[in-house]
Amino acid sequence: MKKVRAKDLQLNVDEILNSSQNERIVISRGGRPCAVLVGIEDYDAEDLRTASSKDFWRMIRRRRTRGKSVPLAEVQARLKKLHGRPNR
């Protein structure tokens, strides 16, 4: 995660906006973090609604605390067995 002072953001806005498409940028003012810049060039309308939905993130937290999770490697192995080929 990259850190940028608010004054530097004003001086290098295009460069920092471009960087935000690949990593989150923490913006500080007076030496203290005050905002996070997240690039959204690859988002569509649904991504934007979901990313800012309190109900969605509440559901994710609830689901993470319940039940058993399945590692990605196990999901891929199950799909391979089911379809007879690797999943991409």
Task: Annotate 62-71 with b (16+ C-beta within 10 A) or e (fewer).
Answer: eeeeeeeeee
DSSP state of 55: H
Question: At residue 80, what is the residue type?
Answer: K
pLDDT tens for 38-88 read: 999 989 999 989 988 999 999 988 888 887 788 889 999 999 998 876 555
Say if pTM beats, i.e. exceeds, 0.85: no
The full set of domains in the chain, from first to last, is 2-82 (3.40.1620.10)
Question: 23-27 long-range contacts, Cβ below 8 Å, gap at least 24?
Answer: 25/1, 26/1, 26/2
